[in-house]
């Protein structure tokens, strides 16, 4: 294994947003070097959570146990709870610790709003569902860094809107530098557009 990718889990987690990233990071297929990443789930506590789709997940560790020094990446999925109050704010603060330590963070959908409220998007290129969604968040002052793209890699931060799980994974792979450029392009073409010509490139990898 190349290291540990930490995946935040909490009630109402949007099931569809991170599966492409975690599955391919774990299996290691098409990567420059053999071996994948261990995926470790992190909850508010180690009590089970229930996703938006009704799946029950028991976290591997509690958020208070998580250190950037032990991680290659922190993934923050969307969830209804991001827009329902401050319950998930500790995850956004932990993301700030990761970024301060130079460890990448990947946030999608509502998690981008959580980062916006922490001021973590104010000086980094980023995206979300729409810029107006972020402008509605108290503490956000990053409009000039907002990019209207499917997903954005801004230094150590990956962001995407809720309809872009494949592009989200693409930028995670780009930040971790796990695929050669032509393989990353082929992976995206296959999983986003069902481009059959991309399969040949992946098989050659």
Catalytic residue, chosen from 109, 115, 158, 190, is 109
Q: How far apart are CA 96 and CA 108, in angstroms?
A: 15
- Beta-carbon count within 10 A of 148 CB: 10
Q: What is the DSSP track for 28-43?
A: -TT-SSS---EEEEEE
- Asked if 202 contacts 185 with a C-beta cutoff of 8 angstroms, the reply is no
Q: Which of 63, 152, 34, 166 is nearest to 104 (CA)?
A: 152
34 catalytic? Reply is: no
Reading the block at residue 104, the tokens are 């990448």
Catalytic residue numbers read 109
């Amino acid at each position: 294994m190349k290291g540990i990718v930490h995946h935040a889990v909490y009630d109402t987690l949007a099931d569809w947003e991170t599966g492409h990233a975690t599955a391919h990071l774990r299996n290691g297929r098409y990567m420059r070097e053999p071996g994948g990443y261990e995926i470790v789930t992190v909850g508010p506590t180690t009590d089970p959570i229930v996703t938006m789709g009704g799946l029950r997940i028991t976290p591997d560790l509690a958020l208070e146990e998580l250190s950037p020094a032990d991680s290659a990446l922190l993934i923050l999925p969307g969830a209804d709870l991001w827009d329902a109050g401050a319950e998930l704010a500790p995850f956004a603060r932990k993301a700030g610790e990761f970024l301060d330590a130079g460890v990448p963070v990947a946030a999608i959908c509502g998690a981008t709003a959580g980062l916006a409220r922490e001021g973590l998007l104010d000086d980094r290129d980023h995206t979300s569902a729409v810029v107006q969604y972020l402008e509605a968040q108290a503490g956000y002052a990053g409009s000039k860094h907002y990019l209207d793209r499917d997903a954005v890699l801004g230094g150590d931060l990956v962001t995407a809107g809720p309809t872009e799980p494949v592009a989200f994974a693409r930028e995670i792979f780009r930040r971790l530098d796990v695929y050669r450029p032509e393989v990353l392009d082929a992976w995206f073409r296959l999983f986003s557009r069902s481009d059959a010509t991309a399969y040949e490139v992946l098989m050659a990898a």
